[in-house]
Amino acid sequence: MNKRLPVIDKHQTPCRPTSNTQPAIPFTALLVLCWIMLLSLHIMAQAPATYTLTWADEFNSTTLDTTQWKYRVGASGTSYQRPENVVMDNGKMRINLKKEPYQGKSYTGGGIITKLPRRYGYYEVSVKIDGGYGWHEAFWTTWLCGFDDPDTAWRSLPGRTEIDCLEHYAGHANNYFTYGAIEWAPHHGNINRDYQTVVPNLATSYNTFGFEYTPDYLNYFFNGRLLKTIDMRNRPSHDFYLWLSTIATKADATDSGAVFFDYLRCYSISPANYAIRKVPFLHYLDSLRGTSQSALLMPSIKAASRTKKKKLPFMDESHPFLPAAAPGPNRTIIVRYDYAKN
């Protein structure tokens, strides 16, 4: 089933004045009609204004485009990730989740990773999670093109940042998820880690998760609604790869399931348009300096980095450090990590 990219007719005038030959529509009714039309556009989860689509995979083909993607392969949590678990299914990319012994693990999951690195822009997926106990669904970024990435150039990066646009932990309810960013080097800790309760059941409906990454700020979106703006000035900046994956993290995860990704879309913005767009976000962040997390996080991370290192679980989407019973919604916390991957 072919899908069309969302298009808004910029020349459309949904609220035209009525002519003399048509019955007059009450002004309040016009306002209600306009509000409904605007709400429908909002729910469609368009990219932020002035962003242009540069690449997308609508998953309409019968096989994965391996010129653009590689499979996530290897052991993480309580599952081994297999290419065989990734299939195209009527315009969706489906990740099959299975209870089966394989390579020393009791479960198998899967995922895909972009082959081409990207940096600044807006990135969005539409996904229906499995929601079964013990499975960890995620849309996230890292500086690695897979944990089996033979390119070790990342070791010379002066700083490393991970962006978790969507993480649904193994014990979370199906209307609850987390999003955040992690600074792995030179300091270790969360830039932000927030928890969100939503109305839709994420396991029975498709929902969009997006993030806007810029040199100055990081925006998180859910179904087109801005959730939070994070200050990224003086944070590590580098190219990253996009991961769409699901793994098991519990020894007693549900026996089977599936996660469906409808699309991944990547957008860019021109320097001229960005110069205009960033102004209100920077004003907002600057207004919070001295009292906000954007100002307070760096000292906290620095203090943590001076603390004697402990051997902690590696914090990627396969080994969430935070407990399943996370703090309350939208609460940011600071933790320490042992960030060495290899």
Peptide bond into 158 cis (omega under 30): no
- What span, in angstroms and rounded, lies between the C-alpha atoms of 281 and 262? 30
The 10s digit of each residue's pLDDT in 55-65 is: 999 999 999 99
Strand partners, 222: 209, 225
CATH number for the segment(s) 52-306 = 2.60.120.200
Q: What is the CA radius of gyration of the chain?
A: 21
**DSSP 8-class letter at 83:** G
- What span, in angstroms and rounded, lies between the C-alpha atoms of 76 and 246? 10
The 10s digit of each residue's pLDDT in 273-298 is: 999 999 999 999 999 986 444 333 33
pLDDT at residue 295, as a whole number: 38
Res 325 pLDDT > 60: no
CA atoms within 13 A on the CB side of 107: 27
CA atoms within 13 A on the CB side of 137: 28
**Tokens standing for residue 93:** 């990319």
pLDDT at residue 315, as a whole number: 30
pLDDT at residue 88, as a whole number: 98
Which run of H or of E encompasses 272?
helix 271-288
Strand partners, 182: 162, 190
The 10s digit of each residue's pLDDT in 244-278 is: 999 999 999 999 999 999 999 999 999 999 999 99
pLDDT at residue 292, as a whole number: 43
pLDDT at residue 74, as a whole number: 97
Q: What is the mean pLDDT of the chain?
A: 80
- What span, in angstroms and rounded, lies between the C-alpha atoms of 336 and 109? 28
